[in-house]
Structure 1
């Protein structure tokens, strides 16, 4: 009997020769079999959507919302069938591959080729392991401090009581985090087969912002997602949705694998399932809110929602920007950021500030980018009297104080260290960026002593002065820009911002002019004017700008989305900049040793076409012994986007690009090469 000594690729070739009828399907065995050896087909699979896809998605979800209201049973059947389809396709591919191998094996057994038969047995095992590996879900567990019953007995007792009432599975691990949030995470031990391991994450800032009963409502909400008292079906879809999402995002990252067998399917399936399950998952959020009402009472559930909405805005708009502003002066992040936050949450906000953030939260409307409903819809759904909505009083004793006592600040110290380590890299980049900005400002100041600056140089000098020095010092510099170019949008915007922050009503006119001349400044401009009039107690005027900003918000987001994408099919045109501006850009680009050549073109856009959008395409070179060679493309792009003396709307890309046709299209544009 002839022994087979060839490799697996040779074996595959023999199978194709033996079984020509399988030529189309058999190569798939090779890719899956040679997991980690054969090259994969790299495709893009992402839940990020284009404008057109987003519009189709929203149209479909609206239709499904109607279906779920008028024909709930039919809707759930459709979702269930779609969920099963994912499993069915995986099983189909698996059985198909095994069927091909088994057919070849049967042929070889009949031909008395024992060696090849043994090889095919091994191939079947490897195919099984390959499919298992593809769908083995290794869930990333968020960082946090692990809690145990010894140090927080009352907290665990509360969790156990609520889980028992809700018939929810026990929490295997509980972690304390630095976020104003709480959540449950299920990690399937057996991949798609389940056997969930349950994690509960509790934000220490959240516990410090809420009273005991308000926190109990939040806890009931999170455990409600796992509740056995409510719809097992919606909970199953809730979990499955996360699994498909993770697989859809992971497939493109899997190199040298057989993932291409499933990639094309999930490229269609994941977004479609995302839309079909969207309505059900949002309903699951409302159902979880009702769990909070049942176990903690209507008032506590409502006040928890209101408090979290208020403090979310406070953290996003005030606290964290103030913390990160320190990176301009300090090379290391503060060692007590979370402690500072907890102290602020204990003190609470002034009535005026709390009312301002609450008004912002109530103005937000439910959209199709997040399954979580807006605050107003959540309060309406649980039957809370909307006339009674107001910022809750700070609790006498917070949930964090109740459960942790003297250990609270020990936990805060631990989270301080975690936070500092986590942000160290990004903080260093901010600090280095600030140092580069100082050098750029010094160069512009020196240049201003020797010659007249261009408009773009004047604008950049004013911006850097405003950022790195006291803002009032930049007023005269912005005014100089406007003397030369009265309708300069960003100069009007920045000057108006500085003035209204000083409670100077002249800033209104500058912001109005910025809004009128640049549609992309409508949303941030209205945001500033809303805050200004709120602080002045002029509610009618503040509402006007709030509504105007909301009206433009969706269009503004679509504009950002459109400008974030470019391909070889995107129409490109000459930049049409003045010669003086091209010279100053070329002069600035010459200070980057890693840049060999730069192209500048104008990209056609359909939204706000009157607002030009530019592409800087950079060709890099190796500089012997230079630090620049160790910088990543992302670092170079980030530096250019922040440093260039250019107020136009633009993005930076690095050439050679993976899209050769795009690179060729850019280089063909007349006058596009501005530095070489």
Structure 2
């Protein structure tokens, strides 16, 4: 299975098999999982087991005559210890605030009540973090990850946007991942995957040639196990939704899904860009950003009373185990146009968490965000200052080259909101109609101005010139579709172009520009974009860490190009295939390249020397 297309075909076949013959599918997955454990057991037997037998033989039956006879025993023992350490798990609790005894008694009582209704086992703790999400977190502990602790993770923004009934559905959904044979089986699969990659990482880090022998098996085993477990994980989302519908009713789960989708969209397209906008005026990140976020979420939860059509446009991915909103609503037997409760109910944070604890968590998360964002924020502020300086320089010129005219229009749009950049774009593109980014930005501006026919034509022209503009074109089309009547001809035309942009955005950028080490700068991704990137990277258990850099652009309005450096967690079947698959899933606001940290090029060596804190680190 060397290509992503082959993986997709296998996943499609397995999804059909899991639907038509679930027992057969689960049996095949269990046998495939046991094969991995058999290889691990064989590794221990052939190393520590053989070393122990040789030692007993020498001590009891035949005392050694030569001291060199201890060399194979020591070598086998050393390899066995590497394998044993790789299989021994001691993980910390999930990141966030672990509720202490006496904290949030109402929330604890609600969680315990739902747990009893579901029939879930012991919960080792409740963690509140800063994400708009909830999770059933397994914390493996012991040989092969057999021992485990279970934590319920609830995001503070999630508590602020849902009411108590909707939160109950979400909690029941997460308990559905813990509960029953399905949850135990899925947890076993997850722990096996972690054990396997940990084993390979230990072998690779040891420098022993035995790791190459495991690599031969891994090249065959890993892609199939990944595809098989992917199908199970996606089916478990439906099963967990069914648990939520049974405990809290299907309409509550559907309303929670819609509210979370709307809130995530608002955060990514409105809240975080507004926060980022303040970098024009201040060189340091703002304080109390999570206090502002909480207030905005409480207000936003009353702004929508139904699921808009654009929220249902997402297509199922081949790397995201969560089905789309449309698929989940259909499985719940709820109409796509979900009606939300119009009553001004209090949020779950107000009724269950308490204002004192919520404010304390907002302060903590704001401080953590500010500290993490400081370096990138200052770099972004300096870049904006450079753009303003460049704008003044272009202002002073009596004549501008065609490329400079397009750049000038973009700078005016970005830094002079009261000025009209539309005629500047038109004039510049008359001189340089082949400028893809200029055509894209003009098309987006025309859509904002209510001129969809020409705007769509400009975006089509931009895609014809350079497929790398697919991502910004997709964002502008999504913004337009949010404000347009669904029955109009303009909506249908924009929807058709959106499908083309989405297909192009999923393709890896094969013609990425050459990059020199001195051209690289800190990335300028917004917090929402960083979160989306880390979610994508989190779907790959082979990735241990990742760093993002930005290529220094020739012009201030040029399309950005990013470089993602990936550090693999041990040996992988094919680094080139893994990079190709990852590139096909990335969503970055421009073109990008993906490199492996194991590469031997001068650029990779320079990046490894200069890399600071990674943008992503796998939790262990």
TM-score interval w.r.t. the shorter chain? 0.7 to 0.9
How far apart in 2 are the matches of 1:366 and 1:63?
15
- Structure 1 residues 146 and 104, CA, compared in 2 at 3 Å: closer, same or farther? closer
Aligned residue number for residue 399 of structure 1? 348
Matches within 5 A, 1:613-632: 613=511, 615-618=513-516
- Structure 1 residues 374 and 144, CA, compared in 2 at 3 Å: closer, same or farther? same
How far apart in 1 are the matches of 2:287 and 2:408?
33
Secondary structure of 1:189 counterpart: strand
1:339 and 2:237 matched:
no
Pairing partner for 1:276 from 206, 228, 237: 228
Deviation at 1:370, TM superposition (A): 0.9
Pairing partner for 1:465 from 387, 412, 435: 412
How far apart in 2 are the matches of 1:547 and 1:382?
26
- Structure 1 residues 639 and 614, CA, compared in 2 at 3 Å: closer, same or farther? closer
Aligned residue number for residue 488 of structure 1? 435
1:113 and 2:25 matched:
no
Deviation at 1:134, TM superposition (A): 2.3
Residue by residue, what CA displacement relative to the aligned partner does 1:358-401 show, whole Å, maximum 9, x if unpaired? 32221223232211111111111122244x52344365111110
How far apart in 2 are the matches of 1:537 and 1:324?
30
Deviation at 1:551, TM superposition (A): 2.9
Secondary structure of 2:167 counterpart: helix
The structure with the larger Rg is 1
Pairing partner for 2:489 from 541, 546, 550: 541
- Structure 1 residues 86 and 442, CA, compared in 2 at 3 Å: closer, same or farther? farther
Aligned residue number for residue 596 of structure 1? none
- Structure 1 residues 416 and 637, CA, compared in 2 at 3 Å: closer, same or farther? closer
How far apart in 2 are the matches of 1:148 and 1:661?
50
Retained in 2: the 8 A contact 1:531–1:542?
no
Matches within 5 A, 1:59-458: 59-98=9-48, 101=51, 105=55, 106=57, 110=62, 112-113=64-65, 115-116=67-68, 125-139=77-91, 141-228=93-180, 230=182, 232-241=184-193, 244=196, 250=201, 254=205, 256=207, 259-348=211-300, 351=303, 358-386=308-336, 389-393=338-342, 395-407=344-356, 408-445=358-395, 448-449=397-398, 452-458=399-405
Retained in 1: the 8 A contact 2:15–2:231?
yes
Retained in 1: the 8 A contact 2:460–2:497?
no
How far apart in 2 are the matches of 1:554 and 1:651?
16
- Structure 1 residues 291 and 349, CA, compared in 2 at 3 Å: closer, same or farther? closer
How far apart in 1 are the matches of 2:377 and 2:133?
23
TM-score by length of 1: 0.71
Relative contact order higher in (CA < 8 Å, ≥ 6 apart) = 2
- Which stretches in structure 1 are left out of the alignment for 5+ residues? 1-48, 564-612, 622-626, 629-633, 664-676
- Structure 1 residues 309 and 149, CA, compared in 2 at 3 Å: closer, same or farther? same
Deviation at 1:74, TM superposition (A): 1.7
Deviation at 1:509, TM superposition (A): 4.9
Retained in 2: the 8 A contact 1:134–1:259?
no
Residue by residue, what CA displacement relative to the aligned partner does 1:524-582 show, whole Å, maximum 9, x if unpaired? 436534543652536323541453245325531343x142xxxxxxxxxxxxxxxxxxx
Deviation at 1:107, TM superposition (A): 7.0
Retained in 2: the 8 A contact 1:493–1:514?
yes
Deviation at 1:245, TM superposition (A): 6.1
- Structure 1 residues 177 and 80, CA, compared in 2 at 3 Å: closer, same or farther? same
Secondary structure of 2:149 counterpart: strand
Secondary structure of 1:175 counterpart: strand
Deviation at 1:517, TM superposition (A): 4.4
How far apart in 1 are the matches of 2:176 and 2:189?
14
Deviation at 1:647, TM superposition (A): 5.8
Secondary structure of 1:85 counterpart: helix
Residue by residue, what CA displacement relative to the aligned partner does 1:78-108 show, whole Å, maximum 9, x if unpaired? 1001101111111112222246545765479
Residue by residue, what CA displacement relative to the aligned partner does 1:453-488 show, whole Å, maximum 9, x if unpaired? 433333333323322332735434323321212343
Secondary structure of 2:550 counterpart: helix
- Structure 1 residues 504 and 380, CA, compared in 2 at 3 Å: closer, same or farther? closer
Pairing partner for 1:638 from 550, 567, 580: 550
How far apart in 2 are the matches of 1:221 and 1:647?
41
Deviation at 1:639, TM superposition (A): 4.7
How far apart in 1 are the matches of 2:465 and 2:17?
43
Secondary structure of 1:372 counterpart: coil
- Structure 1 residues 241 and 354, CA, compared in 2 at 3 Å: closer, same or farther? farther
How far apart in 2 are the matches of 1:546 and 1:533?
7
Say what the alpha-carbon RMSD is for the aligned residues: 3.7
How far apart in 2 are the matches of 1:114 and 1:142?
52
Retained in 1: the 8 A contact 2:263–2:300?
no
TM-score by length of 2: 0.77
Deviation at 1:244, TM superposition (A): 4.6
How far apart in 2 are the matches of 1:279 and 1:170?
27
Retained in 2: the 8 A contact 1:180–1:308?
yes
Deviation at 1:305, TM superposition (A): 1.3
Pairing partner for 1:555 from 489, 503, 517: 503
How far apart in 1 are the matches of 2:366 and 2:473?
35
Deviation at 1:180, TM superposition (A): 0.9
Retained in 2: the 8 A contact 1:457–1:646?
no
How far apart in 2 are the matches of 1:188 and 1:496?
51
- Structure 1 residues 327 and 303, CA, compared in 2 at 3 Å: closer, same or farther? same
Secondary structure of 2:88 counterpart: coil
Retained in 1: the 8 A contact 2:91–2:141?
no
Secondary structure of 1:472 counterpart: coil
Matches within 5 A, 1:590-669: 613=511, 615-618=513-516, 638-641=550-553, 643=555, 658=599
